[in-house]
Structure 1
Amino acid sequence: MPTTDTLERFIALVESNDHVQAIETFYAPHASMQENQAAPRVGRDLLLAGERKVMARAASVDSRCVRPVFVNGDHVVIRWVFRFVWQDDSVTEMEELAHQRWEGERIVQEQFFYDPAQRTPQSPPGAAI
């Protein structure tokens, strides 16, 4: 079960938009991530590679935790709001719930729940339709 201090440090790192460091610091080597009902991605190295790829496409990211955070033993649920501005100036705004299972101070399993329609980038402001 993660301590309150560990959860706050994790949230602060994500809110600082250092998602890669959050994975390096808080995910177990055998951790998995799953998008909605898709097959999980397994292994911290794979998770890091995927996160680096996404972040390289972004011109900027704004990440925010919407409180409260729900904790029940080893299970944590966090509501996140993300705003990605991509290199082409299009924007993706997403709201999701992340259900995590922790072993001690490390995340070992995470599943995200969100409306997949949110993943479609919107045209840059002022762009012709």
Structure 2
Amino acid sequence: MPSRETVERFIAMVEANDHVRAIEEFYTEDASMQENLAPPRVGRDVLVVHEKAALARVQSVRTHKVRTFLVDGDHVAIHWIFDFTLPDGSTRRFDEMALQTWRGEKIAMERFFYDPATVK
């Protein structure tokens, strides 16, 4: 079960746009991430590679300050809002809910829920 302080440190790292380091430091070696109904990606190294590739496809990311998150035992819910600037200068807002299962002080499973129409 994560402490509230650990979850707050994780959120702060993501808010600082240090997304890759957040995965490296806060996810278990066998962690999984799943987007909506897509098959999960499994393994921290796989998650890092995927995150680096996603970030390489955009010009910049602005992570909004988290206003809503809940910690209930091993379960955490975070409402994220990201603004992505694409290589052509256009922007997209990405509004998602992340549901996480923690194992101790690390994330073991995460599933994101968002409107796929926002990621065209």
TM-score range, shorter chain: over 0.9
Alignment of 1:107-118 (within 5 A): 107-118=107-118
Q: How many residues end up aligned between the 2 structures?
A: 120
1:36 corresponding residue in structure 2: 36
In the alignment, residue 103 of structure 2 is paired with which amino acid?
A: E
2:60 corresponding residue in structure 1: 60
List alignment gaps of at least 5 residues for structure 2: none
Query: What percent of counterpart residues are identical?
Result: 54
In the alignment, residue 37 of structure 2 is paired with which amino acid?
A: Q
Partner Cα distance (1:94, 1:5) in 2:
26
Offset, 1:67:
2.2
Partner Cα distance (1:66, 1:40) in 2:
24
Larger radius of gyration: 1
1:75 corresponding residue in structure 2: 75
TM-score where L is the length of structure 2: 0.96
- Residues 27-72 of structure 1, C-alpha deviation per residue, up to 9 Å, x if partnerless? 0010000000111000001000000001112211111243231111
List alignment gaps of at least 5 residues for structure 1: 121-129
In the alignment, residue 98 of structure 1 is paired with which amino acid?
A: A
TM-score where L is the length of structure 1: 0.89
Residue 20 (1) aligns with residue 13 (2): no
